[in-house]
């Protein structure tokens, strides 16, 4: 009996650790004339990060602020937002949004995939991701993907498990480099640190992390032949959310939000000239 009681106690403690987020549904906000949505996030350079004062800012934050203003202006309600979670884990953020109820949104470098669309809702895409193949600067420039087993001979590929960058590297292994060594990091920031600390390494970095490293003058080399820009990022919502149509309305209004001067200024503010030029080259 004592063991049974202990098991029940441990199950209760465990369940506390996977608590869900909550926010007001759009239907509730309409009915009450006011309400609050919750913004879960994963810290991502340029997209969601803390400024010098410790305040969260970034492309995702600014877009969601514009969305809240749009709702208040066009629907005559008083909508506010609050941040939830600590921003430390992509998987933690994603899973909690998926399990949440009502007006909860996930912010960060969240790729829109068909598999994910079966378990969460997405906003319209708001940026095209740009995955960049990187090494330390001492590695010769890769001229062709078919040469990678020779040019990158002896190098270890670092990546975070479960990411699209892991898939990219495993595709390279399958197609061009069967003996390629793959080592795992816990996150994208740790993947970057592994590459910076190991001269015999390479990886794929999302645009945001690459630009962050360049801005800090870290010794990374980009291998343009390996650039990939196939997927798009979106905000996420639980499947039970009724906010998706309103987000679609916001992104489609007035000729399209991503065509607006406000959106282009947000990109310039948080990605800088280099980031904007890279995005333009993709598009």
Same domain, 34 and 116: yes
User: Is 110 within 8 Å of 233 (Cβ atoms)?
Assistant: yes
Out of 15-24, 80-89, 142-151, 231-240, least confident range: 15-24
pLDDT of residue 152: 98
Residue-wise pLDDT for 42-54, tens only, equals 999 999 999 999 9
What letter does residue 84 receive in the DSSP assignment? E
pLDDT of residue 219: 83
Looking at residues 243-271, what average pLDDT do you find? 96
Q: What radius of gyration do the chain's Cα atoms show?
A: 21
Same domain, 89 and 118: yes
Q: Could you give the number of structural domains in the chain? A: 2
Same domain, 43 and 93: yes
- Decide if 123 is inside a domain: yes
| Single pTM value for the model | 0.80
- Decide if 8 is inside a domain: no
Q: What percentage of the chain carries pLDDT values higher than 70? A: 92
The better pLDDT of the pair 275, 237 is held by 237
Task: Flag whether pLDDT at 64 surpasses 80.
Answer: yes
Same domain, 204 and 267: no
pLDDT of residue 95: 94
* Residue at token pair 């270890």: 156
Domain boundary at 226, 242, 261, which? Answer: 226
- Report the CATH number at residue 121: 3.40.190.10
Distance of CA 140 to the CA centre of its chain: 30
Same domain, 76 and 159: no
Same domain, 146 and 268: no
Greatest extent of the chain over all pairs of C-alpha atoms, in Å: 67
């Amino acid at each position: 009996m004592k063991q049974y009681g202990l098991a029940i106690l441990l199950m209760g403690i465990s369940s506390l650790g996977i608590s869900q987020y909550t926010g007001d549904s759009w239907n509730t906000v309409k009915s009450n004339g006011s309400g609050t949505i919750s913004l879960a996030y994963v810290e991502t350079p340029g997209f969601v990060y803390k400024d010098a004062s410790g305040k969260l800012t970034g492309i995702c934050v600014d877009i969601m602020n514009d969305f809240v203003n749009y709702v208040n202006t066009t629907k005559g309600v008083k909508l506010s937002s609050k941040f939830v979670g600590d921003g430390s884990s992509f998987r933690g953020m994603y899973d909690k949004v998926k399990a949440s109820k009502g007006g909860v949104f996930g912010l960060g470098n969240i790729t829109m995939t068909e598999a994910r669309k079966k378990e969460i809702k997405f906003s319209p895409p708001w940026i095209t991701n740009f995955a960049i193949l990187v090494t330390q600067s001492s590695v010769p420039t890769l001229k062709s993907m078919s040469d990678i087993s020779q040019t990158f001979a002896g190098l270890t590929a670092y990546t975070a498990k479960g990411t699209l960058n892991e898939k990219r590297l495993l595709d390279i292994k399958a197609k061009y480099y069967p003996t390629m060594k793959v080592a795992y990091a816990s996150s994208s920031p740790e993947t970057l640190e592994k590459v910076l600390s190991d001269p015999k390494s390479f990886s794929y970095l999302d645009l945001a992390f690459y630009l962050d490293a360049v801005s800090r003058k870290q010794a990374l080399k980009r291998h343009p032949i390996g650039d990939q820009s196939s997927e798009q990022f979106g905000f996420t919502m639980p499947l039970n959310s009724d906010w998706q149509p309103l987000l679609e309305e916001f992104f489609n209004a007035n000729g399209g939000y991503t065509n607006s001067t406000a959106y282009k200024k947000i990109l310039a503010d948080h990605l800088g000239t280099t980031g904007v030029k890279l995005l333009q080259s993709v598009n």
